[in-house]
């Protein structure tokens, strides 16, 4: 597979603060690369460097095999982008905004504007001025703009912000179709794990400016461990029993009253019996597999909402 | 560059700034007609010179400075305020092409505003007064050269206003909003007003490049000496080149964050 984007030791510093710290990222053709991190992790700054809006303090960016600098702006013709809130000219209609984009991108077919309006569900709003658009409509127009010139590579920063659940589902389906049918490579950033989980074929996890891991979704699935999840009446007593009666060290209190046991899963019946016989009620016992969120927590040590999980055992 | 110019022109469509431009074009005509009618009601004949000098007074010195600074700043600052700067910089054009394109589209707009205003002013004045040449402006000029002198004054006024556009643009680029160019323009107009009211000698007024556009209009009590002209040209060149360099450097080099 050929490489669409590769960064090497990409770094951005603002004074003493390092916003992006030596990121080595590789996006291959046809991939949907989910760029995952909390708010402030460095996702947008990285994407801004890739799209030429921010100059890296150090490191290099290769797009389509060419090293990017501000003189290599022609490479952007092959890209479609949404960085943060998409903007458009308030005094112009949806059609006029897209038509201006069409001309600037050198797309000769005028009918392409109508196709895109239909694709993003804005045909009826074609003559409505942008200033009258809702946030969801603005987001749709931004996606339309990114797609109009049929780019090879889409860079989307939180593209579903402001969309309702149905809109999110439609955009997800649209992106999936673009990747599958038109072989468009997509780099999508989000702090919403479920969004990335449902879409990405490869995931990069960034935390405090550092890219902690880049992993194929299939490899991630293989890597995620199975565990026995127990909802118990007393997690302290249950922990004591697991450690002292069964010598189980690899377990975790995921939340109050919920234990995840990662070892000796073949002895789940014995674990249940031990807890019940010692006065710990079990409301639920189920064999599960780590989710992307669990993996994210394991890597970063923080939940997606920023809190730190309580850890015991291994 | 053609695509950039076409896009920049389209961005003005239905823009609120067009109403301001219309107001600036029509206001001096209305004021001049009212002045002429006032003079006639007092039994004095209104000369075309009133219409001619009001073009320079209102459009160049008082209203033009804020308006043209605003237009030059607006084409840059609106990209930040409407969060379109993110889109702009991901087009396959370099930043200096955008900078040049924006200034190149503002220059003919300003020229057109000044030309239309002058023609309206002259037309209204000529129809009202029955005169075709503002003879009072150039008393020492032979009759056959009067028209050339008028055209020269108008064209140089346009040229000087265009050379001042980079200052408004730089204010818009640094301020990232329309306030900064408006403040610059209002300060320039205020300074022009002070010079007019207080009668500051031309040798000092020449340090203010926003006063330059009327230097050839024949409006001033004294014809400026050659060294005063030179001083005025130098101050205009300094402001033009310095703001052009500062604005271009900032626009080309600055990081763009959060659409701001």
If one counts every other C-beta atom within 10 angstroms of the C-beta of residue B71, the result is: 25
Q: Which residues contact B56 (CB under 8 A, 6 or more apart)?
A: B153, B157, B213, B214, B217, B219
CB–CB of A87 and B258 under 8 A?
no
Cβ-defined contact of B86 to A89 (cutoff 8 Å)? no
Split at pLDDT 50, 70, 90, the class of B141 is low
Taking an 8 Å cut-off on Cβ atoms, the answer to whether A91 and B10 are in contact is no
> DSSP string covering A222-265, please?
HHSPEEEEEEES-HHHHHHHHHHHS---SEEEEETTEEEE-S-G
pTM: 0.78
How confident is the model over A178-218, as pLDDT tens digits?
A: 888 778 899 998 877 777 877 888 888 888 888 888 888 77
Q: How far is A276 from chain B (nearest CA, A)?
A: 55
Tell which A residues from 86 to 115 touch B, by Cβ distance under 8 Å: 86-92, 96, 100-101, 103-106
- Residue A35 is given by DSSP the state E
pLDDT tens-digit profile of B163-199? 999 999 999 999 888 899 999 999 988 988 888 888 7
The reported pLDDT for the residue numbered A312 is 39
Nearest CA in chain B to A14: B255
- Compute the distance between CA of residue A210 and CA of residue B216 in angstroms, rounded to an integer: 63
CA-CA distance, B68 to B60, in Å (whole number)? 9
Whether B9 has a pLDDT exceeding 80, the answer reads yes
The pLDDT of residue B259 = 45
Share of chain A above pLDDT 70, in %: 95
Q: Would you say B205 and B222 are in contact if contact means Cβ atoms under 8 Å apart?
A: no
- Where, residue-wise, is CATH 3.40.50.300 in chain A? 3-221
Question: What integer pLDDT is reported at residue A307 of this predicted model?
Answer: 45
For an interface test with A, the pick among B255, B259, B260 (most A C-beta atoms closer than 10 Å) comes out as: B255
For chain A, residues classed under CATH 3.30.70 are 225-289
Residue B57: strand, helix, or coil: helix
Residue with tokens 């998409």: A86
How many Å apart are CA A110 and CA B24, to the nearest integer? 37
Of A79, A87, A101, the CB nearest to B82: A87
A55 and B258 within 8 Å at the Cβ level: the answer is no
Report residue B141 as tokens. Answer: 């000029």
Q: What digits encode the pLDDT tens for the residues A122-137?
A: 888 888 999 888 877 8
Q: Could you tell me the pLDDT band of residue A302, with boundaries at 50, 70 and 90?
A: low
Write down the domain spans for chain B. 2-253
ipTM summary value: 0.80
Nearest to B6 among A71, A101, A103 (CB): A103
Q: Side by side, which strands form the sheet with A282-289?
A: A251-255, A258-261, A226-232, A282-289
**Cβ-defined contact of A104 to B3 (cutoff 8 Å):** yes
Task: Indicate the average pLDDT of chain B.
Answer: 86
Instruction: Tell me how far the alpha carbon of residue B94 is from its chain's centroid.
Output: 28
| Cβ distance of A73 and B259 shorter than 8 Å | no
Q: Does domain A225-289 have CATH number 3.60.15?
A: no
Q: A311 pLDDT exceeds 60? A: no
Instruction: For A168-181, give one letter per residue: b (16+ CB within 10 A) or e.
Output: bebbbebbeebbee
C-alpha neighbours within 13 Å on the C-beta side of residue B193: 13
Interface with A, mutate which of B3, B16, B92 (most A CBs under 10 A) = B92
Residues of A with Cβ-Cβ distance to B14 under 8 angstroms: 91-92, 129
- Partners of A87 on chain B (C-beta within 8 Å) are 82-87, 259
A303 pLDDT tier (thresholds 50, 70, 90): low
Q: Which residues of chain B lie closer than 8 angstroms to A88, CB-CB?
A: 82, 84, 87
**Would you state the pLDDT for residue B15?**
85
Instruction: State the residue for tokens 């926003």.
Output: B210
Could you please state the CATH topology (level 3) that the domain comprising A3-221 is classified under: Rossmann fold (3.40.50)
Q: How far is B6 from chain A (nearest CA, A)?
A: 9
Cβ contact (<8 Å) for B259 and A85? Answer: yes
């Amino acid at each position: 597979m050929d490489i669409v984007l590769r960064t090497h030791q990409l770094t951005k510093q603002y004074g003493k603060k390092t916003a992006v710290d030596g990121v080595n990222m590789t996006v291959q053709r046809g991939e949907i690369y989910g760029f995952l991190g909390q708010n402030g992790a460095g996702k947008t700054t990285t994407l801004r460097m890739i799209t030429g809006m921010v100059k890296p303090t150090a490191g290099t960016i290769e797009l389509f095999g060419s090293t990017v600098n501000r003189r290599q702006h022609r490479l952007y013709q092959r890209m479609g982008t949404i960085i943060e809130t998409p903007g458009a000219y308030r005094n112009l209609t949806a059609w006029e905004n897209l038509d201006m984009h069409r001309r600037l991108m050198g797309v000769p077919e005028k009918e392409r504007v109508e196709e895109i309006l239909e694709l993003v569900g804005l045909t009826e709003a074609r003559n409505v001025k942008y200033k009258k658009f809702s946030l969801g409509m603005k987001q749709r127009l931004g996606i339309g703009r990114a797609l109009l010139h049929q780019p090879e590579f889409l860079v989307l920063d939180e593209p579903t912000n402001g969309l309702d659940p149905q809109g999110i589902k439609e955009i997800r389906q649209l992106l999936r179709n673009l990747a599958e049918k038109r072989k468009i490579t997509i780099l999508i950033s989000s702090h919403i794990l479920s969004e990335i989980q449902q879409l990405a074929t490869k995931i990069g996890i960034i935390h405090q400016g550092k890219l902690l891991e880049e992993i194929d979704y299939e490899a991630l699935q293989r890597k995620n461990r199975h565990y026995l999840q127990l909802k118990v009446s007393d997690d302290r007593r249950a922990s004591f029993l697991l450690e002292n009666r069964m010598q189980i060290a690899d377990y975790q209190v995921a939340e109050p009253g919920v234990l995840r046991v990662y070892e000796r899963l073949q002895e789940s019946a014995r674990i249940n019996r031990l807890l019940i016989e010692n006065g710990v009620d079990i409301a639920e016992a189920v064999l599960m597999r780590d989710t992307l969120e669990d993996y994210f927590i394991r890597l970063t040590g923080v939940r997606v909402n920023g809190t730190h999980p309580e850890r015991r055992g291994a | 560059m053609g695509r950039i110019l076409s896009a920049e022109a389209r961005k003005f469509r239905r823009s609120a700034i067009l109403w301001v431009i219309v107001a600036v074009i029509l206001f001096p005509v209305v004021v001049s007609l009212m002045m002429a009618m006032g003079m006639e009601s007092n039994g004095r004949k209104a000369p075309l010179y009133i219409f001619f000098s009001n073009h320079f007074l209102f459009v160049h010195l008082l209203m033009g400075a804020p308006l043209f600074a605003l237009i030059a700043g607006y084409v840059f600052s609106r990209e930040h305020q409407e969060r379109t700067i993110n889109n702009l910089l991901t087009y396959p054009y370099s930043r200096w092409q955008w900078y040049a394109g924006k200034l190149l589209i503002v220059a003919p707009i300003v020229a057109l505003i000044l030309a239309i205003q002058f023609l309206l002013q002259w037309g209204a004045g000529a129809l009202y007064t029955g005169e075709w040449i503002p003879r009072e402006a150039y008393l020492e000029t032979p009759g056959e050269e009067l028209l050339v002198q008028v055209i020269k004054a108008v064209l140089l006024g346009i040229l000087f206003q265009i050379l001042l556009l980079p200052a408004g643009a730089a204010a818009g680029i640094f301020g990232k909003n329309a306030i900064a160019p408006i403040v610059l323009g209002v300060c320039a107009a205020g300074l022009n007003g002070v010079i007019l009211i207080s009668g500051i000698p031309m040798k000092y007024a020449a340090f203010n490049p926003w006063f330059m556009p009327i230097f050839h209009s024949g409006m001033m009590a004294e014809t400026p000496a050659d060294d005063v002209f030179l001083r005025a040209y130098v101050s205009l060149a300094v402001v033009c080149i310095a703001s052009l360099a500062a604005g271009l450097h900032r626009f080309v080099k600055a990081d763009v964050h959060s659409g701001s």
